[in-house]
Structure formats: structure tokens, C-alpha cells
């Protein structure tokens, strides 16, 4: 126990964690750029398949093992939700409602997890976490309401937000499915679980991208496409590996509690790109982020927080 405490005070450890947050937060910009050269489903496929290759390399280097039995089935099903449906929703939402709005909406997954965990797993929330739920959803309402006039139609904005929220709900459902199976188990190899999840997503996205929607509209020679794919695929997989390294040095609750800052990074980047939202929309975004932060705060701050594992998996 003494060694983790020493590492917990290391500035290098938190620098690594901050680096991962920056990588994930900066991913919405490359998605936006790459979307100009292909369809959302093809872009989702181009993200998942190369990342699967990187994760397989990590799996081999660290000599990990694949899950079996119920955990294997749960990993595959959660992979369909998280690395199949959600990845397509993420790409489509960036095109429809923009990177900033998408970053906030898809990162409401911890709010969804909290509600579903309370309903189906009877997991209790502390007082501040419950307050965070209210604050988070109020922030989303502020964000949406203030931008209705900024889109060609209210239906476009509301439809895009609803799709992004459906993606967050799918992600939350996939996480809770895994959580339910893993509750009474120890020594689970999370890298092995992740390999199965990425593989399940790739198995769905590959045929859909090539044989259902088609790739004729993809500009394969566009530099913007491949720069974006490299960033949202292998580079974010490196961030995933860094997070595993950090989790070996500090408590999971402490590490994952700062990941709610990912949408804040995305919003700052959009402001720097000249895509600043209005004052009310911006305030709504940060209110939503605050709500997520309260829900995902370490156990010591809010008592019986239920989302330490959920937030970790919701960022990979």
C-alpha cells in the first residue's frame, strides 16, 4: 500500500493523466475534420478497426487473457453497444450538432449510468451525486434551448441531441451490463475484455460500412481524413494505455474523477477554432459538465458514489 501512496504524490503521474484527458478532449476536432471526407459510419469503422489492432498489440505484449463464459458474452454485447452503435452515433452527432454539443452530450453517460444503476442494480447515490444529476440535466436543457434558433430547424438540433443522448444511453447500458456480470468477480483482465469489445464493434461496423452504406463517397486520398483517423484511433488507444498505467499508481476514484473535464477541453478547442457558442449555451455546457463532475467525484467527496468503474470504461 505504501508504494501507491508515494506514486499518488507524483507530479509525473498526474501529468500522464492530464495528457490522456487532453488527447480524448481534442478528439472531437479531428472527427469534425475527417467527417468532411467520408460518412459517419465509415469514419466509425476507421476508428474502431485500427484501434482494435493497437489493443491486440497491447494484449500480446502484456500477455493478457480473454474473458470466458458469461463475461465473454457480456463483453461482446457491451462492445456492440459501445464500440458499434455508440461510435456511429458519435460521428453522426459531430456532423449534425457540432463538436462542442456532441462532447457534452456523449459525456452525459455517467448521468445515465447513475439513473440506470439506481433502477436496475439498486445502487445508491450520495446527496451531492443526486444534486449532480439535477444540475447536469438542467445544463443540457439550457444548452439545447438557447441554440434552437442557431440551426436550420429546431428538429435538426433536437434530433441530433436525442441521437447523441441515445448513444450515451447505449454506452451506459453496456457499462452496466458488464458491471452486473463483474460484481462478484475478482482478477478480471480488463484489457482482455476491451479486446472482445473492440472486436464485436469491428464485426458489425466493417460489413455495414462496406456493404450497406458503401464507401463510394469517401475521399481516400484526403490528408484530413487520415490525420483524423490516426488521432481518434491509435492515438486515443495510447491514451487508454496511459490510463491503465496511471491506475496502477493511484486509486481508480481519484484517476477517473478528473475525466469529466474531457468535454471542457473540447469546448475550449472549439472556441479557439472560432466556433464559440452563445453565452447561455456556453453556460449550459459548463453547468452540465459540473453536474457530471459531481456524479463522478471520488467516494470520499460524495459518499456512496456508484460510478468509479463506469467513468473509467466510458472514456476508453
216 vs 258, which has greater pLDDT?
A: 216
- Nearest-5° Cα angle at 64, 254 to 204: 90
The pLDDT value given to residue 172: 82
Kindly state the percentage of the chain with pLDDT values over 90.
46
Q: CA-to-CA distance for 78 and 108, rounded, in angstroms?
A: 18
Q: How confident is the model over 212-237, as a mean pLDDT?
A: 92
64-68, 119-123, 181-185, 279-283: lowest mean pLDDT where? Answer: 119-123
pLDDT at residue 119 above 90? no
The pLDDT value given to residue 205: 96
Cell output for 213: 452504406
The pLDDT value given to residue 281: 93
Length of the chain as a residue count: 316
Give Cα 286 to chain centroid, integer Å.
17
The pLDDT value given to residue 28: 95
pLDDT at residue 177 above 80? yes
The pLDDT value given to residue 247: 61
DSSP string computed for 137-189: HHHHHHHHHTTGGGSS-HHHHHHHHHHHHHHHHHHHHHHHHHHHHHTT--S--
Q: CA-to-CA distance for 273 and 267, rounded, in angstroms?
A: 10
Match 440535466 to its residue by C-alpha cell. 137
pLDDT at residue 138 above 50? yes
Q: How confident is the model over 186-207, as a mean pLDDT?
A: 90
Give Cα 28 to chain centroid, integer Å.
11
pLDDT at residue 160 above 50? yes
CA torsion sign for 292, 296, 298, 299 is: positive
Phi, psi of 10 (to 5 degrees): -80, 130
29-38, 74-83, 144-153: lowest mean pLDDT where? Answer: 144-153
Using one digit for the tens of pLDDT, what is the confidence trace for 1-49? 434 444 444 577 778 878 888 998 999 999 999 999 999 999 999 999 9
Query: What is the reported pTM?
Result: 0.82
Q: CA-to-CA distance for 183 and 7, rounded, in angstroms?
A: 28
pLDDT at residue 312 above 70? no
Residue 301's pLDDT band (cuts 50, 70, 90): very low
The pLDDT value given to residue 90: 95
The pLDDT value given to residue 105: 92
101-105, 186-190, 191-195, 310-314: lowest mean pLDDT where? Answer: 310-314
Q: Domain residue spans in the chain?
A: 2-313
Amino acid at each position: 500500500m505504501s508504494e501507491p501512496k508515494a506514486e499518488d504524490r507524483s507530479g509525473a503521474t498526474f501529468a500522464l493523466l492530464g495528457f490522456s484527458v487532453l488527447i480524448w478532449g481534442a478528439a472531437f476536432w479531428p472527427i469534425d475534420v475527417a467527417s468532411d471526407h467520408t460518412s459517419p459510419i465509415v469514419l466509425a469503422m476507421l476508428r474502431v478497426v485500427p484501434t482494435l489492432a493497437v489493443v491486440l498489440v497491447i494484449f500480446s505484449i502484456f500477455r493478457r487473457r480473454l474473458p470466458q463464459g458469461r463475461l465473454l458474452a457480456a463483453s461482446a454485447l457491451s462492445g456492440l453497444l459501445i464500440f458499434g452503435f455508440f461510435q456511429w452515433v458519435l460521428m453522426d452527432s459531430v456532423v449534425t450538432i457540432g463538436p462542442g454539443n456532441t462532447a457534452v452530450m456523449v459525456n452525459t453517460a455517467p448521468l445515465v449510468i447513475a439513473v440506470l444503476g439506481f433502477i436496475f442494480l439498486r445502487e445508491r447515490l450520495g446527496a451531492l451525486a443526486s444534486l449532480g444529476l439535477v444540475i447536469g440535466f438542467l445544463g443540457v436543457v439550457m444548452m439545447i434551448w438557447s441554440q434552437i434558433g442557431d440551426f436550420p430547424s429546431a428538429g435538426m438540433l433536437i434530433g441530433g441531441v436525442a441521437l447523441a443522448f441515445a448513444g450515451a444511453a447505449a454506452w451506459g447500458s453496456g457499462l452496466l451490463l458488464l458491471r452486473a456480470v463483474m460484481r462478484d468477480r475478482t482478477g478480471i483482465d480488463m484489457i482482455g475484455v476491451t479486446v472482445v469489445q473492440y472486436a464485436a464493434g469491428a464485426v458489425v461496423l466493417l460489413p455495414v460500412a462496406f456493404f450497406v452504406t458503401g464507401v463510394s463517397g469517401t475521399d481516400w486520398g484526403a490528408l484530413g481524413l487520415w490525420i483524423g483517423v490516426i488521432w481518434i484511433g491509435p492515438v486515443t488507444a495510447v491514451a487508454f494505455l496511459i490510463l491503465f498505467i496511471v491506475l496502477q499508481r493511484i486509486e481508480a476514484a481519484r484517476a477517473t474523477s478528473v475525466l469529466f473535464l474531457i468535454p471542457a477541453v473540447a469546448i475550449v478547442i472549439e472556441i479557439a477554432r472560432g466556433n464559440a457558442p452563445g453565452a447561455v449555451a456556453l453556460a449550459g455546457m459548463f453547468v452540465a459538465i459540473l453536474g457530471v463532475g459531481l456524479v463522478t467525484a471520488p467516494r470520499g467527496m460524495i459518499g456512496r458514489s456508484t460510478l468509479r468503474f463506469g467513468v473509467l470504461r466510458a472514456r476508453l
